[in-house]
Structure 1
Amino acid sequence: MNVFSTAILIVFCSLLGSAFSDTCLECLAINSTVCEGTEVECLGNAGCMTASQIYKHGDKNYKSLYRSCANTTFCGNFASMTQDPNVTIRTYVSCCEGDNCNTNPFYIPTENSTLNGLKCPSAYCEDTTGPCDGDLKMMECRGSETQCINYGGHVQDPNKYQNDYSVQSCINPLGCRLNFKCLIAVEEIKNVRLECSEGVKA
Structure 2
Amino acid sequence: MTGGMAISSSIKSCLPSHICHLGPVTVNYGKVKAKSHLVCCTGDDCRTTSVSLPPDNDVPNGYQCPACYSVDSFQCGNEVVNCTGSEDQCVDLAGLMNAGNCLLFGAV
**How many correspondences in the alignment?**
103
Normalised by the size of structure 2, how large is the TM-score?
0.67
CA distance in 2, matches of 1:77, 1:90: 11
1:168 alignment counterpart: 105
1:103 alignment counterpart: 48
Query: Which deviations, in whole Å up to 9, do the C-alpha atoms of 1:122-176 show, x marking residues without a partner?
Result: 22333321x412xx222110122211123334323xxxxx1223332112xxxxx
Say if 2:80 is the partner of 1:80.
Answer: no
CA contact (8 A) 2:93 2:105 kept: yes
Structure 1 residues without counterparts, runs of 5 or longer: 1-55, 157-161, 172-202
2:96 alignment counterpart: 154
CA distance in 2, matches of 1:67, 1:155: 15
1:84, CA displacement in angstroms? Answer: 2.2
CA contact (8 A) 2:39 2:51 kept: no
Query: Which deviations, in whole Å up to 9, do the C-alpha atoms of 1:28-48 show, x marking residues without a partner?
Result: xxxxxxxxxxxxxxxxxxxxx
Which of 51, 72, 75 aligns to 1:127? It is: 72
Normalised by the size of structure 1, how large is the TM-score?
0.40
Could you say what the CA RMSD is over the residues aligned between the two structures, in angstroms?
Answer: 3.2
1:112 alignment counterpart: 57
For residues 76 and 103 of structure 1, do their structure 2 counterparts lie closer, same or farther at Cα, with a shift above 3 Å needed? Answer: farther
1:76, CA displacement in angstroms? Answer: 6.7
CA distance in 2, matches of 1:95, 1:124: 27
Report % sequence identity.
Answer: 23
Structure 2 residues without counterparts, runs of 5 or longer: none
1:102, CA displacement in angstroms? Answer: 6.7
For residues 67 and 119 of structure 1, do their structure 2 counterparts lie closer, same or farther at Cα, with a shift above 3 Å needed? Answer: same
Which of the pair has more CA radius of gyration? 1
Which of 87, 91, 96 aligns to 1:145? It is: 87
What SS class does the counterpart of residue 105 from structure 1 fall into? coil
More strand by share: 1
CA distance in 2, matches of 1:112, 1:124: 20
